[in-house]
């Protein structure tokens, strides 16, 4: 994995802008701590930071190869990601007469573009964001993977395009002012930490959506969607469906274990991570690669303060021990305390370039930093709940019929803490209603479905296209800030495409959430683990955390220079903070963001406004 940035400009000679390109590139140092490279021509400048995973001795970027049309004209690539079908693509390209100087997938991708042009994306299986400059055509081509695992932000001005793996790379350009307008405020306070696909929070900044390509030339900017969820009849019965899912998951995981550096798995003891770990152990045993290293995260005194509830029915620790003993992995338990989580809130903002999931982000950032000490690549169970329907809101009538995003039902709470000026600007109810209507309008209909089937398809679509990107965003930014590559097998587009069309009755095989996934894993996991109730990413339940973020937030409210004060109703927020205790439920976002996370989120907003010197326009 890496960090990429670039600058296309028809009005300047970019060979004279090496210092600016260098600044843009160096903002991504944490994403690529192993090497740095830049490439400049008159109208195109590329920067790259490298995290070496495949062929560490070679594969430096930006990578240059002769174009198909003429040897004297080059194609140049900057690329962030992994191609899991690189061996098959390389074999095909060799048969077509291509020669290779490296064993890395960067060269495979570049040669694939040279051979097939923009259509190359149809052949790719992987997670990626890349840009290719074709010097003869004077054209930039960029693409993002189908599920949006890897990010690509861009800004278009008159005759110019800037892009980067993270907003910070674009913000480093001297002509870009860090501004946020009404729409950005709405994204932060009405939908946040979720984002509308394509929106970059910052004024003038967009994000290439999952499954899209971009072409920029002298005629301007053109966006094309090359992949999206489609509805079709599912013809397999339950047994065949389970078998197919098992085959896809095993194939996907084995492809994603390929690496020239140490690989580990994240193990929570839940169904999703336990399945991937079990499959990894089986593969390592079969190929003689030794033991699998596993990592888990927990918090000081969580065992004392944990209380079971509908969203988190049981603690992870006993189940992790169960799986470690069963599989014989080399396990590394990581534990954090309240002061570390509070301090890491600011690092999490710097990693993302805007406020995020508060301590959920912070703990993942700290977790990835610890994992990095022993591994460079980690396999994670992210996205299984969105794909297979594991969240409680898939199973609750009121959520299915709420007429809004089920992870963000608290519009009243969100409105209540905003200043009158912000309320007038963002109009929270109208904004969320518009965004929800936009999302629902995209759902691909399947003729003949009844109302229940349509509701379940809608919920699946919303989760995959609106909720899952928030978690993938978080996973990418927090892991790459630690120089750790995280792979997400449940995001394989073949698996997602297949499961999206599995009828809800089959998805709930055995009358259980994610029942068809459980059925596909029979014989892979012990029965008690296989049928364990879902438990989300662990968060701290220590009341000290609530106390710490409350205290800090009240200090910010006392600081008349705080930029946060112009955006919120300080009196209302103070009232909420002063009366909140461990029993207070303030549903800010999803399953994990409640009272303490609301206060931490506002702390992140305050820090972000100060640190980035954000202008409100």
- Between the alpha carbon of residue 343 and those of residues 162, 207, 340, 349, 557, the distances in Å are 32, 29, 5, 11, 19
Give yes or no: 2 in active site.
Answer: yes
- Using the 8-state DSSP alphabet, how is residue 465 labeled? I
Choose among 145, 129, 158, 173: nearest CA to 24.
173
Chain Cα centroid distance, residue 421: 32
Contacts of 155 (CB under 8 A, 6+ apart): 161, 162, 163, 170, 176, 204, 205, 206
CB neighbourhood size of 94 (10 A): 12
Whole-number CA gyration radius for the chain? 24
Tokens of 55: 């062929």
Phi and psi at 593, nearest 5°, equal -105, 105
What is the distance between the terminal CA atoms of the chain, rounded to a whole angstrom?
A: 35
With vertex at residue 613, the alpha carbon angle to CA 609 and CA 617, rounded to the nearest 5 degrees, is 80
What's the CA dihedral at 441, 399, 592, 206 to 10 degrees? 10
CB contact set of 212 (below 8 Å; sequence gap of 6+): 143, 144, 223, 224, 225, 226
Beta carbons of 567 and 428 less than 8 angstroms apart: no
State the Cα–Cα distance between residues 586 and 588, nearest whole angstrom: 6
Q: Specify whether the CB–CB gap between 546 and 595 falls below 8 A.
A: yes
Annotated catalytic residue, options 2, 75, 120, 491: 2
Structure tokens that stand for 543 in this block: 């009341």
- Which CB contacts under 8 angstroms, 24+ apart, belong to 148-151? 148/197, 148/209, 148/210, 148/211, 148/469, 148/472, 149/81, 149/472, 149/476, 149/488, 149/491, 150/1, 150/80, 150/81, 150/476, 151/207, 151/473, 151/476, 151/477
> 296 near 313, Cβ under 8 Å?
no
Q: Are 74 and 66 in contact (CB under 8 A)?
A: yes
Q: DSSP secondary structure string, 524-547?
A: TB-HHHHTPPP--S-----HHHHH
- Residue where the block lists tokens 């508060």: 358
For residue 338, the tally of other CB atoms under 10 A from its CB is 20
Catalytic residue positions? Answer: 2
């Amino acid at each position: 994995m890496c960090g990429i940035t670039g600058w296309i400009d028809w009005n300047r000679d970019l060979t004279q802008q090496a210092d600016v390109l260098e600044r843009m590139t160096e903002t991504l140092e944490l994403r690529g701590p192993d090497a740095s490279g830049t490439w400049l021509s008159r109208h195109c400048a590329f920067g790259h930071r490298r995290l070496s995973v495949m062929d560490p001795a070679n594969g430096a970027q930006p990578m240059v190869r002769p174009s198909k049309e003429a040897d004297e004209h080059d194609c140049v690539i900057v690329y962030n990601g992994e191609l899991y079908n690189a061996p098959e693509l390389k074999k095909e390209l060799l048969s077509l007469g291509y020669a290779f100087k490296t064993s890395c997938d960067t060269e495979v991708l570049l040669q694939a573009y040279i051979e097939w042009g923009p259509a190359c994306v149809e052949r790719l299986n992987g997670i990626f964001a890349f840009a290719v400059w074709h010097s003869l055509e004077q054209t930039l081509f960029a693409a993002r993977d189908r599920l949006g695992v890897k990010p690509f932000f861009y800004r278009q001005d008159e005759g110019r395009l800037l892009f980067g793996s993270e907003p910070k790379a674009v913000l480093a350009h001297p002509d870009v002012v860090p501004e946020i307008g009404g729409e950005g405020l709405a994204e932060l306070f009405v939908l946040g930490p979720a984002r509308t696909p394509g929106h970059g929070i910052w004024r003038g900044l967009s994000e290439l959506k999952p499954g899209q390509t971009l072409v920029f030339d002298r005629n301007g900017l053109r966006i094309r969607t090359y992949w999206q969820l489609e509805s079709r009849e599912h013809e397999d019965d339950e047994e065949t469906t389970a078998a197919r899912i098992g085959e896809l998951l095993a194939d996907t995981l084995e492809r994603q274990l390929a690496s020239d550096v140490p690989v580990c798995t994240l193990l929570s003891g839940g169904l999703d991570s336990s399945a991937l770990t079990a499959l990894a152990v089986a593969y390592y045993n079969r190929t003689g690669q030794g033991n699998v290293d596993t990592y888990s995260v927990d918090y000081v005194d969580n065992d004392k303060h944990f209380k079971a509830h509908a969203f988190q029915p049981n603690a992870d620790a006993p189940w992790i021990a169960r799986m470690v003993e069963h599989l014989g992995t080399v396990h590394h338990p990581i534990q954090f305390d309240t002061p570390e989580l509070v301090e890491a809130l600011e690092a999490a903002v710097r990693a993302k370039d805007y406020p995020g999931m508060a301590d959920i982000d912070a703990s993942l950032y700290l977790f990835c930093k610890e994992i990095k000490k022993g591994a460079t690549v980690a396999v994670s169970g992210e996205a299984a709940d969105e794909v297979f329907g594991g969240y409680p809101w898939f199973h609750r009538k009121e959520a299915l019929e709420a007429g809004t995003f089920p992870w963000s039902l608290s519009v009243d709470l969100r409105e209540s803490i905003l200043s009158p000026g912000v309320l007038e600007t963002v109009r929270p109810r109208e904004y969320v209603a518009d965004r929800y209507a936009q999302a629902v309008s995209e759902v691909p209909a399947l003729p003949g479905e009844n109302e229940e089937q349509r509701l379940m398809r809608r919920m699946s679509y919303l989760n995959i296209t609106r909720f899952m990107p928030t978690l993938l965003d978080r996973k990418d930014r927090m892991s790459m800030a630690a120089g750790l590559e995280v792979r997400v097998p449940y995001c394989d587009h073949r698996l997602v495409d297949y499961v999206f069309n599995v009828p809800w009755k089959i998805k709930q095989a055995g009358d259980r959430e994610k029942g068809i996934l459980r059925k596909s894993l029979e014989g892979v996991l012990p029965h008690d683990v296989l049928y364990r109730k879902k438990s989300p990413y662990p968060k701290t339940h220590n009341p000290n955390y609530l106390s710490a973020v409350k205290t800090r937030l009240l200090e910010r409210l006392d600081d008349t220079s705080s930029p946060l004060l112009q955006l919120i109703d300080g009196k209302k927020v103070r009232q909420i903070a002063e009366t909140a205790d461990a029993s207070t439920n303030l549903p800010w976002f999803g399953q994990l963001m409640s009272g303490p996370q609301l206060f931490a989120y506002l702390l992140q907003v305050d820090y972000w406004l100060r640190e980035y010197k954000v202008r409100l326009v």
